[in-house]
Amino acid sequence: MGLGVSRGLAARALAVAVLALYLMAPTAAALSAQLPGGVGKVRLIVKVNPKLFKMADIAGMGGRVLYRASLAPIVIVEVPSFMADAVGKLRGVLHVSRDAPVRIYGDVVPWGVSYVKAPSVWDAATTGAVDADGDGSRDVEVAVIDTGVDPSHPDLKDNVAWCISVIGGTVSSDCYDGNGHGTHVAGTIAALLDGYGLVGVAPGVEIYAIKALGDDGSGTFSDIIMAIDMAIKGPDGVVDRDGDGLVAGDPDDDAPEVISMSLGGSYAPTELHDIIQQAYSYGIVIVAAAGNEGAQSPAYPAAYPEVIAVGAIDSSEQVPSWSNRNPEVAAPGVDINSTWPGGGYNVISGTSMATPHVSAVVALMQAARMAKGLPVLPPGSFDDTGNDTVRGILHSTAKDLGSPGYDSLYGYGAVQADAAVAAALGGTQEEPPETPQPSPEPQPGAPSIVGLVENPGFDSSLEPWSFYPGSYIDKAEWYSSLAGREGVAAVYGTVPAWSFSVSDSAFLAQQVTVPADASEVNITVEYYAYSDSSRATIYVVAGFYDTEAGSWIWYTTEKATPGAWATLSATVPSDALDAMRGRTVLYVVGVYAQTFTIWSSNTIALLLDSADAVASTG
């Protein structure tokens, strides 16, 4: 009997020891990337008082200490992004800095990219990377019809979205550029801004590379016609898939926003004009090289009225003798450095090199509008000078060189990306409703209140809210009545037994457009937290997320007390509001939870009776 008691005590002691081992383990911060671009974790550089700071405090908020410097009181930590602001309030923390990227000075900005003032557009508006419908994919493409491309070039590989050949009337995936011309053109449009090599005018746009010219640089108009037809349809091979009448600028369609052709001839068949007119009718902007013969008029297809003919200038703003006269606009085309097959770079000249500068500026214009929730601009005509078409803006914002106004050397002038994008954002092209509804005018000095959210009270469903599940909190449902409230959204899930330390999150989100004249934005979330375990800590999260940049603009958190309805209210700080005015962003509401399970599971839920966001204007 004594032996049996000893064995029982030993078994219990072993169980206690095993349990203690797990209880001492650091918290696992498994906050998965729920939102487009990823929410994940944030790395912080923390100055501490070594006598007071406890690494366990970081673990307790779902983070971990990555490194503790031995020569200075500095700690490198990684915590869930929601907890970043809370680190500064921990005992022994003296100062917190967010980690920031550094890189080698490797991205060369070619003189042409600098001349058209593209870098200022990247900072102020867009690189061309825009996800208008929030599906995680980019929505602005330039179709380059040329000698193909080197799709594995380090400065192009992430931007070549589609690569085919139509040589000899046969569609194939054999699109490799054995000449170099097409790769050079693609690089001027979209070489990556990645700290390597050089950068293009619109480093965030996608390229459709369609090889219609052979490795000797020659081809046939029949293959060009085929290439344009393929470009209009895009990778899915369907024009206007959703049947809404929109093609260019529609995230649901694969058509490019721009077709760029650095090619031409003195004669073209009627059928080439027919297919170009078709592309033009779908709202696709068509750009082509004026030609290098020194002729008095552009070559075809640049000579067609639907096409923007591009002439060349050098770094001294002079027109070379070989650039065909009477272009529509001019752009850098002499001694242009760009990508070359095999991972290299090459400097060459021609109106072929000027053309992609213009194609990329057009892509930036359309991307900037889509990022603001505006429709793309129609192509327009040669005579346009207003801000309601692409060509009108290119004409009115070009740098006027040579004789005042249009002239035979420079056309309307040299394209300027910064002015063109600014003008594109100034003209909304929104048509007024057919029957305008009168609204009461605000009293002088009184702000107007604008609701930003559709179905903020979850009145009849979860629409149009999108759900971003976590690893465990992976369900979202609508209830007509729950926990004493009507019209409730429930986000919930169960952490299984023996999961030990777990951090998880889940969100509801929808796109909202913040008025350009918003003076204040306030959010109000009515919520009810639930957990069937006392080990769970639940936070309510609400804020705004930039899908284009892949990062939070601003968010707030509130530790929830399970079992009772509560309200989270907050005003967006002025710096965050500045970043949102006039933009379409993602409004996000959700739950972040930490728990610990051994013998039993833990069900966690967040109920939402409302999740509203309103803007004050005026």
Mark whether 357 is an active-site residue: no
CA 597, CA 600: separation in Å to the nearest integer? 6
Sheet holding 141-146, edge to edge: 160-165, 206-211, 141-146, 258-261, 285-289, 307-313, 329-332
Q: What is the DSSP secondary structure assignment for residue 82, as one 8-state letter?
A: G
**DSSP summary character for residue 198:** B
Query: What residues does 594 pair with on adjacent strands?
Result: 503, 537
Contact 475, 519 (CB under 8 A): no
In angstroms, how far apart are the furthest CA atoms of the chain?
112
What's the CA gap between 470 and 171, in Å, rounded?
42
Which residue bears the tokens 């009507």? 486
Distance CA 263, CA 268 (A): 12
Residues 269 and 277 sit within 8 Å (Cβ to Cβ): no
Spatial distance between the Cα atoms of 82 and 589, rounded to a whole number of angstroms: 12
d(CA 388, CA 579): 26
What is d(CA 302, CA 262) in angstroms, rounded to the nearest whole number? 9
Contact between 560 and 527 under an 8 Å Cβ cutoff? The reply is yes
State whether the Cα torsion 48-49-54-55 is positive or negative: positive
The reply to whether 532 belongs to the active site is no
What's the CA gap between 581 and 574, in Å, rounded?
A: 10
Do the bridges between strand 500-513 and strand 518-531 make them parallel or antiparallel, or are there none, so unpaired?
A: unpaired
Q: Which of 260, 338, 349, 352 is catalytic?
A: 352
- The whole-angstrom separation of Cα 247 and Cα 144 is 18
Check if 155 is active-site.
no
Catalytic member of 57, 153, 155, 181: 181
How far is Cα of residue 538 from the mean position of the Cα atoms in its chain? 30
Q: Please name every residue paired with 542 in a beta bridge, in sequence order, or none if there are none.
A: 556, 589
The residue ranges of DSSP E strands in 85-179, in sequence order, are 93-98, 141-146, 160-165
The CA-based angle 138-330-320, given to 5 degrees, is: 130
> Under a CB-based contact definition with an 8 Å cutoff, are residues 192 and 126 in contact?
no
Q: Torsions phi, psi of 345, nearest 5? A: -140, 155
Residue 190: closest CA among 151, 236, 218: 151
Q: Which of 41, 47, 45, 76 is nearest to 61 (CA)?
A: 41
Strand 285-289 to strand 307-313: parallel, antiparallel, or no bridges (unpaired)? parallel
CA quadruple 188, 202, 142, 208: dihedral sign: positive
Tokens 């085309």 — which residue? 333
Please identify which of the residues 131, 146, 253, 384 carries the catalytic annotation: 146
Query: Which residues are part of the catalytic machinery?
Result: 146, 181, 352
